[in-house]
Structure 1
């Protein structure tokens, strides 16, 4: 079975790292790596960066916000670059819902926007049945909107990693199976606080029981918004065995939203295009075309 980039060797063919002579013999033993851009569809500058990072850099996957302002442009670019692995970036905080406010009045304001109070909302999701019903409806609507794009669903994750919440994860698992979901990001970065370990252990167990593929490690939480070349190179020096996902928030220029006012989007795009980053990956890792790449199962 061919990987995405091998099976779509057309105009969209990205620059693929070339293995050094020293690395060729041990390729099968190398750690696997997925490099993903989040917030695809949020802004045209994000979409431009995703396409540029895929065609000319090491980016291989993107997570789509289906209710975001530039989603139509993002879908068009994804279809022009069929080797790009696209997944669903569920938005349940700090963003726009896809259902109208009258359908989910306990989740959004009059303009259809989620707030950013994830702690309060987390309690409401857990304890209030009528809120859970609206939440399930919105999650299903976002899966349905992704399916309507005609894109293959490579993975699912949640904005602000809200799928750490057990109620959201349960809904993702039950609803996602209706839409062919087979992979979810595990937001487990080495060195994270011990208070998260029980939640992550529960996530691992539930995804394993559901037959869902997931990464062993993630990188991008600690340096969110500042994943420049130096940070990327530092991360790439220390990837542990197994499957790692590195995620970024690239854009072709600066200020995108108030909640990311201090993010260095252009520097993150530059990291994806960096020859030094490409060479380091080629020497040490197997770069996978998203979670659907057959090489992922070898991690």
Structure 2
């Protein structure tokens, strides 16, 4: 039984959650995400509580779209050279999560190599509590740069994430089934470990999407909005029955974004994509139904009764 069926939909229905990652990263991202949420062009967003612009994101969320699904974007990396952030946990050591200068490390591989699992647990709790204390009614959780998944060295931190999800009643971004995107293949060891982790999550009552997809994060040489749109429409047409989460990174294209981001044009394209008439018409023609993370959260809550 897929997650769509567990939600009460038909076995062949294709349900889509479009999530905007990195809410709170900067003002340019906050404005784009808030507008897309208010217009219901996307389903949800996840907020980075470590970033200086997180309070601005919360304020925009409360002012323009308080009913929108907003989750916590658990963050353990700080990837940009000119813009940094670090741990917000104040009641427990997080020394193993610190890179040069005391900020989070640049890469997920560094997190896998050095992170102490208990320190990760305390940091995830601190980020979750910060969002709740700010007034956000969290609908789900996910992982910035996939630092919890063990993609690089095989040292995942997912059981820690499951503990925190269970504690706060949050469904989580972990696909029940892996699907290769962009011509990639999935190594056998990753596929086998993913099946174990899915089983562990579901044993804890944590509700997961069936699939996770989205366009390439970076532009390749020669890419334009039209080539990006073609890629995205192709992904929409290929959606499988069940619940799919689409990872998006929308932003307005501003000098602020250009000052630190290496792919600012791509973020503006992703904001534009979900307003594009051709994209919206494809969603209708393909009989794709938009849903939100709150539906998964309500299912999870029902399982805990």
- Say whether the fold is shared (TM-score over 0.5): yes
The corresponding residue for 2:217 is 224
Are the structure 2 counterparts of residues 117 and 250 from structure 1 closer, same or farther at C-alpha, using a change threshold of 3 Å?
closer
User: Following the alignment from structure 1 to structure 2, what is the Cα–Cα distance between the partners of residues 214 and 123?
Assistant: 27
- The 5-angstrom pairing of residues 187-206 of structure 1 reads 188-191=178-181, 192-195=184-187, 196-206=190-200
Shift of 1:253: 0.9
Are the structure 2 counterparts of residues 88 and 107 from structure 1 closer, same or farther at C-alpha, using a change threshold of 3 Å?
same
Pairing 1:173–2:162 present: yes
Give yes or no for contact 2:21–2:248 (8 Å, CA) kept in 1.
yes
The corresponding residue for 2:173 is 185
Shift of 1:286: 0.9
- Give 4+ residue runs of structure 1 displaced > 6 Å after superposition: 294-297
User: Following the alignment from structure 1 to structure 2, what is the Cα–Cα distance between the partners of residues 88 and 49?
Assistant: 18
Give yes or no for contact 1:186–1:214 (8 Å, CA) kept in 2.
yes
The corresponding residue for 1:285 is 288
Tell me whether 282-291 or 68-77 shows the greater mean CA deviation. Answer: 282-291
Aligned partner of residue 256 in structure 1, secondary structure:
helix
The corresponding residue for 2:222 is none
Give yes or no for contact 2:44–2:293 (8 Å, CA) kept in 1.
yes
User: Following the alignment from structure 1 to structure 2, what is the Cα–Cα distance between the partners of residues 168 and 39?
Assistant: 20
The corresponding residue for 1:253 is 253
Give yes or no for contact 2:24–2:30 (8 Å, CA) kept in 1.
yes
TM-score by length of 2: 0.77
User: Following the alignment from structure 1 to structure 2, what is the Cα–Cα distance between the partners of residues 100 and 108?
Assistant: 14
Mark the runs of 5 or more structure 2 residues left unpaired by the alignment: 1-8, 79-84, 220-224, 301-305
- Alignment size in residue pairs: 265
What is the RMSD computed on CA atoms of the aligned residues?
2.9
The corresponding residue for 2:237 is 237
Give yes or no for contact 2:44–2:68 (8 Å, CA) kept in 1.
yes
Work out which of the residue numbers 200, 204, 213 in structure 2 matches 1:210.
204
User: Following the alignment from structure 2 to structure 1, what is the Cα–Cα distance between the partners of residues 34 and 57?
Assistant: 9
Aligned partner of residue 88 in structure 1, secondary structure:
strand
TM-score by length of 1: 0.78
Give yes or no for contact 1:41–1:66 (8 Å, CA) kept in 2.
yes
Aligned partner of residue 180 in structure 2, secondary structure:
coil
User: Following the alignment from structure 1 to structure 2, what is the Cα–Cα distance between the partners of residues 159 and 218?
Assistant: 14
Pairing 1:148–2:141 present: no
Work out which of the residue numbers 89, 93, 102 in structure 2 matches 1:99.
89
Aligned partner of residue 184 in structure 1, secondary structure:
coil
Mark the runs of 5 or more structure 1 residues left unpaired by the alignment: 1-25, 126-130
Pairing 1:85–2:86 present: no
Give yes or no for contact 1:57–1:273 (8 Å, CA) kept in 2.
no
